[in-house]
Amino acid sequence: MVNWDTSRHERSFDCLIVGGGPAGLAAATYLGRFRRRVIVVDADESRAKWIPLTRNCPGFPDGITGPDLLDRLELQATRYGASLVHDRMVSIRRTKAGFLAGDSSPIRARSVLIATGIVDTLPDLPGATDMIQAGVLRLCPICDGYEAIDKRVAVIGPAEHAMKKALFMRTFTQDLTLLITDPSEPSPDKLTKLKRAGIEIGVCRPNAVCATGREAV
């Protein structure tokens, strides 16, 4: 029988999860229900915190904010015994017994799950953070494309990357503009593909886009 209090005190776990976003916390819940000793180390930088409201999350048809979703996931994970540490992981190395991780104090674990997600590179726009919080600037076409049905949409980013997102957004609206943030432009064949899709192309200069209430101009 595992002495849970003692194992936490010794900071020795069956699994160390690096990243306390939706993926990491969901994994902690499952592992906790499997009666595994789990610790989540989170730097409090989950991109889910940026979400003003999403209707893309199963179980919340009326939508849920990113911070509320994280709070609920954290409560669920800790309810099943997972430990949560707000810290930045700086090193992980392999040992004979598993892994030794160093945050502010060492953590020993038999296994490690990396759930750090990605970091968004925001465009050079005034008030980009406020625009995200207002729902004017969105970061994920998969999550938020549905809310853009038949609306006028600008896709902002480096040419090659943003072009793919713009073509994907044709699923939801025909009024699309691709605003390129880098000096390059799509290859001739890709330019032809964009034109056939009815997507206009422009350059996104600094301070070229700003929010006006619930819209951007």
- Tell me what the mean pLDDT of segment 112-124 comes to: 89
Instruction: Select from 188, 148, 189 the least CA-distant residue to 168.
Output: 148
Q: Indicate the average pLDDT of the chain.
A: 88
pLDDT band (50, 70, 90) for residue 1: very low
Q: Where do the CATH 3.50.50.60 domains begin and end in the chain? A: 4-114, 128-216
pTM, to two decimals: 0.83
Q: Is the pLDDT of residue 118 over 70?
A: yes
Q: Is the pLDDT of residue 7 over 70?
A: no
The H-assigned helical ranges of the chain are 4-9, 22-33, 66-79, 128-133, 141-144, 159-169, 188-196
Both tokens assigned to 165: 């997102």
CA atoms within 13 A on the CB side of 22: 15
pLDDT band (50, 70, 90) for residue 61: very high
Return the pLDDT at 160. Answer: 87
Higher per-residue confidence, 152 vs 211: 152
pLDDT band (50, 70, 90) for residue 8: very low
Q: Is the pLDDT of residue 12 over 70?
A: yes
Return the pLDDT at 211. Answer: 63
Asked: is 128-216 a CATH 3.50.50.60 domain? The reply is yes
Percent of the chain with pLDDT over 90: 63
Return the pLDDT at 127. Answer: 81
The superfamily in CATH containing domain 4-114 is: FAD/NAD(P)-binding domain (3.50.50.60)
pLDDT band (50, 70, 90) for residue 5: very low
First and final C-alpha spacing in the chain: 62
Whole-number Cα distances in Å, 75 to 81, 100, 117: 10, 26, 20
Q: Is the sign of the CA dihedral 102, 38, 94, 96 positive or negative? A: positive
Q: Round to whole Å and give the CA distance between 153 and 197.
A: 14
Eight-state DSSP code of residue 14: E
Q: What counts of helices (H) and strands (E) characterise the chain?
A: 7, 11
